[in-house]
Amino acid sequence: MARRAGKDPTDAEQAETPSDRSASRRAMVDKVRARVAQAVWIVCVVAALFLAVGALCIALKANPQNALVKFILDTADKLDFGVFSRGKDGVAHFSGHSHSAMTKNALVNWGLAAVVWLVGGRILERLIKP
């Protein structure tokens, strides 16, 4: 006599219990949290990289008329929170309009902003990650 599917006693034993479902949901949530934490860390590293490359462009006297250099400098200006700007509003301000003063302003202020991005990103990653 043929058995019907689902009526086999071994199928009942293999049925998923509520604790199994909750464990699989927890594993899925942990996986999603790990991916989100990874994405947050990558965003923060990219922001710090823009700030570092922007300071390097200033130090190397890169042509500000170049589209790529302009994009990097504009992006770095937006990522510095206004607290770490290259102008008079920055944390450190070296007076003068010489290239040396501009380089020091960019390196110190954007360097500090990059460190803030990296530390903040690492803290957020640890808070989000399971």
3-state secondary structure of 61: coil
Give tens-digit pLDDT for 81-123. Answer: 877 666 666 666 666 777 777 888 888 889 999 999 999 999 9
Indicate if the pLDDT at residue 10 is higher than 60.
no
Average pLDDT, the chain: 84
Yes or no: say if 76 and 54 are a contact pair by the CB < 8 Å rule: yes
Find all residues with CB under 8 Å of 33, minimum gap 6, and list them. 128, 129, 130
**pLDDT above 90: percentage of residues in the chain:** 53
Helices (H), the chain: 9-14, 18-59, 67-79, 99-128
125: alpha, beta or left? (left if phi > 0; alpha if psi -120 to 50): alpha
**DSSP-assigned letter for residue 5:** T
Banded pLDDT at 5 (limits 50, 70, 90): low
The closest alpha carbon to 95, from 114, 113, 107, 86, belongs to 86
Banded pLDDT at 35 (limits 50, 70, 90): very high
The per-residue pLDDT for 14 is: 61
The per-residue pLDDT for 19 is: 78
Yes or no: say if 117 and 47 are a contact pair by the CB < 8 Å rule: yes
